[in-house]
Amino acid sequence: MAKALDLEEQEQLDQIKHFWKTWGNLISWLLIAVLGSFAAWNAYQYWDRTQAEKAAALYDEVERATASGDIARVERSLADMKDKFGSTQFALQSALLAAKTLQAQGKTDAAREALLWVTANASDKAYRDIARLRLASLQLDAKAYDDALKQLGMEFTPTMAGLAADLRGDVLQAKGQASEAIGAYQQAWQKMADFPDYRRLVQAKLNALGVDPESTAVAETPK
């Protein structure tokens, strides 16, 4: 009986050897690939966490620089942020924050460059739209009306579309194109049904141009 078991065990061992000889290399490579991917994922997660921590620390530096009004420090910290962590949301936030301070200090060219950088690099459409609106507002102040209209003519998310239409009305009115401004304000008024306070502001602009958007909306309602 013991001898029979020995033969059976030997047969199983031979089968295992044959299987491993046939498939062993493939299994080994698959294990290496799986374990390597797992190790790489863990390494990426660690790198991502450390990068986020470093980016957050540098964002704090940008905040301190803007709070102090030290323009040289603002520009230096923003340059570091874009160079080292340009793909992070911290970089987008830093550029928007820096642009506000730069504009307030009369550094309009630097502010414009910061906003243009956000519009070109933002993967988040909300940041992109905020930068476009602020850039168009800056261009309006500089009487660069065509440049402002170019920014405002780009695609905006539904949340920001009403603000873009309102600002477009401001630019058109500044250009002396009252009828076109009315059309833009009417678009803004229609898109801002969920923002009554801002809608009243747009309505006041239309009223000043001799238009009542509420009566116009009623007249256009199909019977």
pLDDT score for 137: 93
Query: Using one digit for the tens of pLDDT, what is the confidence trace for 131-176?
Result: 999 999 999 999 999 999 999 999 999 989 999 999 999 999 999 9
Q: How far is CA 149 from CA 42, 83, 153, 166, in A?
A: 47, 30, 6, 12
Residue-averaged pLDDT of the chain: 81
Q: What's the pLDDT band for 57 if we cut at 50, 70, 90?
A: confident
Average pLDDT over residues 127-132: 92
First vs last Cα of the chain: how many Å apart? 99
What value does the CA radius of gyration of the chain take, rounded to a whole number of Å? 31
Residues 6+ apart with CB under 8 A from 86: 121
Instruction: Select the highest-mean-pLDDT range: 29-38, 60-69, 99-108.
Output: 99-108
Average pLDDT over residues 30-54: 55
Contact 88, 62 (CB under 8 A): no
Contact 59, 90 (CB under 8 A): yes
Could you tell me which residue, 181 or 221, shows the higher pLDDT? 181
Cα separation, 216 vs 13, in Å, equals 90
pLDDT score for 203: 92
pTM over 0.75: no
Could you tell me which residue, 3 or 67, shows the higher pLDDT? 67
Contact 104, 135 (CB under 8 A): no
What residue type is assigned to position 28 of the chain?
Answer: S
Residues 6+ apart with CB under 8 A from 110: 75, 99, 102
Q: What's the pLDDT band for 16 if we cut at 50, 70, 90?
A: low
Contact 80, 44 (CB under 8 A): no
pLDDT score for 31: 57
Query: Using one digit for the tens of pLDDT, what is the confidence trace for 194-223?
Result: 888 889 999 999 999 999 888 765 344 444
